[in-house]
Each structure stands twice: as C-alpha cells, then as structure tokens.
Amino acid sequence: MSESTKKPEQAEENKAETAPAEDTKKAEKKASKSSKKNAQADRIAELEKELEKAQQSVKESADNFLRLAAEYDNFRKRSLREKDDIKVRSKTDVVEKLLPVIDNFERAALNAEADADSYRQGVEQIYRQFIDILKTLNIEAFGAEGDAFDPNIHSAVMHTEDENVGENVIVKVFTKGYKLGDTVIRPAVVQVAN
C-alpha cells in the first residue's frame, strides 16, 4: 500500500507514535542548549576572574614600575648633588692649601724694597711651599732633560738634530708636566732630538 492510500487513522497513529519521540528530542535539545549555556556561563565567569587577576597584576606591575622610576630619579638627583658637593669640597681643599702661598706673595710684594738677595730667598721659599703643596696632593712633576720622549705625556714643540744625544731624547724643557697618578694634568712642553 502506498503512502497516499493509507487511511487517515493510520496517519494519526504514526503521528502519535512519532510525537513522543519528537518531544524527547526537543527536550534533549533544550537540555543540551541549557547545559551549553551553563558551560558557557561558567567559562565566561572563569575568564572574567582570570581577566580581573591579570588586570590586578598589570596594575601592581605598573605601580612597581612607577615606584622604581621614582626611586631611580631620586637616586640620580642625589648622585648629582653628591658629585657637585665632592667637586666643591675638592676645590675648597686645594684653595685652602694655596691660601698661605698667596699670603706669602702679598708679604713679598709689601717688602719689595728689601735687598734683591732676601727678595730672591723669599720667592724661592714660596716656590718650595708650592712644591710641598703639590706633593701633599700627590701631584708629581715630570719632563727633564735626558728623559725619553713619550707622546702620551710630552708635547714636542721643536726637534733638533744632535749626534751627541740619542734618538727621541728630551734636550730642552720649556714647561714641566704634572700628573696625578696616571692622569696627566698638563703635558711637558719639550724639544726632542731626532
């Protein structure tokens, strides 16, 4: 028998049989949708918590960064102040040592009318006082005739041909050089034999 020839009663029976199955499928779909929605809601809540933790972590990191930046800035400013203070103290220490020499020059100028020999002795004494001050500051003079020429610490302004002197030997010193440890304060200005 074909579908079209089935009796209407049979069609209703088939509908009645398939109706509970369709209702079950609908209920399953609803339950499935509901469980999916619950799972999604749980996942969303979980992600929101993770997001909140991440935002809190970012905020803490930003606060730490700002705190460190402020500490670094304070350190930099403090270091600059200390550096400036050290420069000032160093200068005042040197000037304090030079003041007695200036006093002696003033005394010598007042007594310029004295005889030449005593005036010369006074100037020599002032010179020795200067040299003593340089020694206390660990500053040493260099550049003497007969020394080997070193371009790192000497400045050659003249050259001469002299067979009696070896090559690259200082034959004349125009101004002495001075250094503090390995630091050259002023190079010696010299004449060198080639």
Show the tokens assigned to 56. Answer: 């809190």
The DSSP element (H or E) to which 192 belongs, if any, is strand 188-193
Q: Which of 133, 131, 107 is nearest to 118 (CA)?
A: 107
| Domains of the chain, earliest start first | 20-137 (3.90.20), 139-194 (2.30.22.10)
Cα distance between residue 141 and residue 153, in whole Å: 11
pLDDT < 50 regions, the chain:
1
- Please report the pLDDT score of residue 63 as a whole number: 96
Task: Dump the DSSP string for 38-82.
Answer: HHHHHHHHHHHHHHHHHHHHHHHHHHHHHHHHHHHHHHHHHHHHH
Note the pLDDT of residue 1: 47
Q: Kindly report the pTM of this predicted structure.
A: 0.56
Residue-wise pLDDT for 111-161, tens only, equals: 777 777 888 888 889 899 999 999 999 999 999 999 999 999 999 999 999
Q: Are 168 and 193 in contact (CB under 8 A)?
A: yes
